[in-house]
Chains A and B, each alone.
Chain A
Amino acid sequence: MALGMPAQALTVYDRGNAGEPETLDPHLVSTVQEANLMRDLFEGLTAHDARAEVTPGAAERWEASDDGRTWTFMLRPDARWSNGDPVTAEDFVYSLRRILDPAFAAKYANLLYPILNAEKVNKGEAPKEALGIAARDARTLEIRLERPTPYFLELLTHQTTYPVHRASIERFGRDWVKPGRMVTNGAYRLAENLPNDHIRLEKNPFFHAASEVAIDVVNYVPLEDRGAALRRFQTSEIQSYDDVPAEQIAFIRRTLGDQLRIAPYVGVYYYAVNVRKAPFADPRVRRALSMALDREFIAEKVWAGTMLPAYGWVPPGFDGYAPVEASWRAMSQLEREDAALALLKEAGFDPDGQRLEVEIRYNSGENHQNTATAIADMWKAIGVDARLINADGKTHYAHLQNRGDFDVARAAWIADYRDPQNFLFLGLSDNVGFNYPGWNSPPYDALVKASDDMADPAERLATLRKAEAILVDEQPMIPILFYASKALVSHRLKGWEDNVMDIHPTRYLRLEP
């Protein structure tokens, strides 16, 4: 065989991935599909296990100072790069400085802003040496934070914090990610990369847990066409796929049985309401629009049960956090419609006189269209005339992000790290990039900001919960659905555990013959 491997049979796992990666550089990627690849190639200080719980990664242990602002990590002695070099504390210093360098232009750099001076460095207001990270010795790393960040260990599982191999980057420049050159520290290393065909990863013999890794080769097969992916799964050309063609869900359930996996997933599908202008500045109008939605119908009929109805903003699945639900959750749909009509009347609208007109903007996609159509229909029942406008994804989001005029617009958020704060920061008035409605609630801002400095987890979550209650009451963003992860997983593939982060590192999987 090539690469001088012994001629014994290798376990090869063909893993369907619902998108081609933009790059294999962990500091430049942003999509879920890219994160899947990164998780196999690299390992951060902490990592996710098969159930997406935080476990030690390149660090074997750590401790935090009493104020929660200084963390010390001890790297494992057997942490190695795929070329045999030891993984050192200096590697992490180099890597964090690299991703926060403004000239490097990393899309996700702002995720690291909890680290001391990270924001200033990334905005070019401070030199990279000012960043709160230092190597005490080859195996001891100290990271200082702006504020106690309770989800910090969770954040360290994210690809933005992964170490990169300095010597190869300095030698090969942007070509360091090419097969034969790329050096990684995860369970796998890159063997081949043919865009739109496959990315072949081979077991990294230097990985500290290599003896526990059962699959020798994993081929990531990019499959954007869900129908084609289903056919390839049916013919056993792939053993898993991280999506399904939603329109064929009944057929899939019938024919593939428990090989179809649907599990709650931390993401929210919502309509942003432009609160900068009348009549949408009036919370009564927003509440009425929200109450009129039959979420069960949308989840069951439009999305064929692949999404869950959302009555609050933060999806379920965060330890110690009881999700908030709108007060009218207990009402029947008819009662909600009556209440919505009354609210609209108070706000000066009347189904038989001055009708409310709403423009719904959404990005193209069959189910987005069906959802918008269903919603327009539900709004008709409370005397609201809706008009649909759709555009391709780039146009749609550019319009929102550039503050274009709109009434109501479709958007979504998927968690970057497992903490409710990652959803609630969307409503902060100074969150220019993400707060599409332009909502400004000083009490909300105060609560979310206060929670940042709370070291006691229970107190912090209770504070965040209070903030969520304000958002759910005011409905600047109308939550419609919570996401569910959808996957096809072959009976041959063992160790795939459903979890709310939809994270399934290959190193924990096994393939039976």
Chain B
Amino acid sequence: MIAFVLRRLLWAIPTLFAVVTLSFLLMRFTPGGPFNADQALAPAVLENLKRAYRLDQPLIVQYGDYLARLLQGDLGPSYSYRDFTVTELFARALPYSLQIGGAALILALVLGVGLGALAAKRQGSALDAAVTTLSGLGLTVPSFVIAPLLSLAFAVWLGWLPAAGWGQGALSHKVLPVVALALPQIAAFARLTRAATIEALKADHIRTARAYGLPEWRVTAHALRAAGGPALSYLGPAAAALLTGSVVVETIFGIPGVGRYFVLGALNRDYALVMGTVVLVGVFVVLFNLLVDLAYAVLDPRIRHD
């Protein structure tokens, strides 16, 4: 078990290295640079800037610089937030994304798995139809539609909640972004759980359990344990995505999280910021996939990590 975890963590190093290298190259071969804007810079000024950020050095030197700094935990300076290093930006923004994303993850798991299981139990009922339809909607309607609609309905029309802003962390400010972030994930978990539970309820060991006359709630518990696989596989990437924030939800609800840094960094050619986000998301994905693999062993006794 411990050997398995160590092996996986060791493997993460070359994986992250490859991701970093690839995104470094992709970023640099994208046309335009951090200092191209609609008000052009005087050539002399541009030269000064490039020198100051060492962008006048050969690419290989810049790459070496970046790796050397990365190994010391320094993600480099941001061009679009010049008063902060990328590390400082993440240190400030990550807690917000973790709060919103964490709450959305729990909401998605509880509601998604719950509704999915319920729908499966009552397959063909009105409830099942409702869950199936709503989850279809939740998956297909993008968050840039849902988020403004939520804000419009609950803030502008009803006046129950603030339209946006962090509001020094007041609960009322967190409700809409958490819901907006959770909705598509609730839908995904509900669909996965429903399908898997329907399968599981037909399985031999469930029939056997019923034949032995086990109470229905215990039968369902057995079925759910067997049905957890697909939802669990999905949990890894979903958790990584939710916890590292969403550019749409953060922009629309004014959450000062890390989600926007990836998109804004790419648009601004803020090289270090993009690379930093790649590393951050990479670490989260590796970590959560590892946790999910460990959880499999708990769920399915046939899987052993050794």
Contacts and interface: CB of A to CB of B under 8 A. Distances in A.
Is B truly associated with A?
yes
A33 interface: no
Contacts of B166: 194, 197
A377 interface: no
A123 B257 CA distance: 40
Nearest to B266: A392
Contacts of A345: none
19 contacts: A23-B82, A28-B82, A102-B44, A105-B48, A105-B52, A109-B48, A122-B44, A174-B83, A196-B93, A196-B257, A197-B166, A225-B252, A228-B148, A228-B252, A235-B159, A394-B32, A398-B31, A401-B40, A433-B40
B11 interface: no
A169 interface: no
Contact of A197 (B152, B163, B256): B256
Given A20-B80, A228-B252, 16 more contacts: A25-B82, A107-B49, A122-B44, A177-B83, A178-B83, A194-B166, A195-B92, A196-B256, A225-B251, A234-B156, A392-B32, A394-B32, A394-B269, A397-B38, A398-B36, A412-B38
B41 interface: yes
B254 A24 contact: no
B260 A228 contact: no
Interface residues of B, number: 54
B114 interface: no
Contacts of B37: 30, 393-394, 397
Interface string A428-445: 000011100000000000
Interface in A23-38: 23-25, 28, 30
A104 B38 CA distance: 22
Contact of A231 (B32, B155, B251): B155
Given A105-B51, A231-B156, A434-B40, A196 B250 contact: yes
Most B-side CB within 10 Å, residue of A194, A195, A400? A195
Interface in B57-115: 79-84, 89, 92-93
B50 to A, nearest CB: 8
B164 A228 contact: yes
Majority SS at the chain A contact face: mixed
Size bin of chain A's contact surface: 35 or more
A51 interface: no
A106 B37 CA distance: 15
Nearest to A391: B31
A1 interface: no
Contact of B40 (A197, A228, A397): A397
A223 B254 contact: yes
A119 B250 CA distance: 43
A228 B143 CA distance: 14
Contacts of A24: 83
Contact of A237 (B82, B83, B165, B257): B165
Contacts of A232: 163-165, 254
B162 interface: yes
A103 interface: yes
Interface string A382-421: 0000000001111111111100000000011110000000
A232 to B, nearest CB: 5
B40 A231 contact: no
A224 interface: yes
Nearest to A431: B42
B268 interface: yes
A195 B81 contact: yes
Contacts of B38: 363, 393, 397, 411-412
Contacts of B89: 195
B241 to A, nearest CB: 19
B301 interface: no
Interface string A462-506: 000000000000000000000000000000000000000000000
A110 interface: yes
A74 interface: no
A225 B93 CA distance: 19
A440 to B, nearest CB: 17
A23 B83 contact: yes
A84 interface: no
Name the 6 nearest CB pairs between A and B, nearest first: A394-B32, A398-B32, A197-B256, A105-B52, A23-B82, A105-B48
A248 to B, nearest CB: 11
B105 to A, nearest CB: 22
A28 B92 CA distance: 23
A103 B48 contact: yes
Contacts of B52: 103-105
A392 B254 contact: no
Interface of A: 20, 22-25, 28, 30, 102-110, 119, 122-123, 174, 177-178, 193-197, 221, 223-225, 227-228, 231-232, 234-235, 237, 363, 391-401, 411-414, 432-434
B251 A224 contact: yes
B282 interface: no
A432 B43 CA distance: 7
A221 B260 CA distance: 16
A413 to B, nearest CB: 7
A105 B44 CA distance: 9
A321 to B, nearest CB: 22
B39 interface: yes
B246 to A, nearest CB: 13
B45 interface: yes
A413 B37 CA distance: 11
B30 interface: yes
B35 interface: yes
Contacts of A123: 44
Interface in B150-178: 151-152, 155-156, 159, 162-166
Contact of A401 (B36, B162, B164, B253): B36
A227 B148 contact: yes
Contacts of A234: 156, 163
B25 interface: no
B162 A237 contact: yes
Contacts of B35: 107
B92 A107 contact: no
Contact of A413 (B39, B151, B251): B39
A160 to B, nearest CB: 11
Nearest to B159: A235
Contacts of A20: 80-81
Interface in B232-276: 250-257, 260, 267-269
Contacts of A23: 81-83
A22 B44 contact: no
B277 to A, nearest CB: 14
Contacts of B43: 432-433
A221 B165 contact: yes
Contacts of B51: 102-103, 105
Contacts of B46: 433
A232 B164 CA distance: 7
A25 to B, nearest CB: 7
Contact of B42 (A103, A110, A196, A363): A110
A119 B43 CA distance: 12
Contacts of B228: none
A110 B45 contact: yes
Contacts of A122: 44-45, 48
Contacts of B252: 225, 227-228
Given A103-B52, A393-B267, A433-B40, A25 B81 contact: no
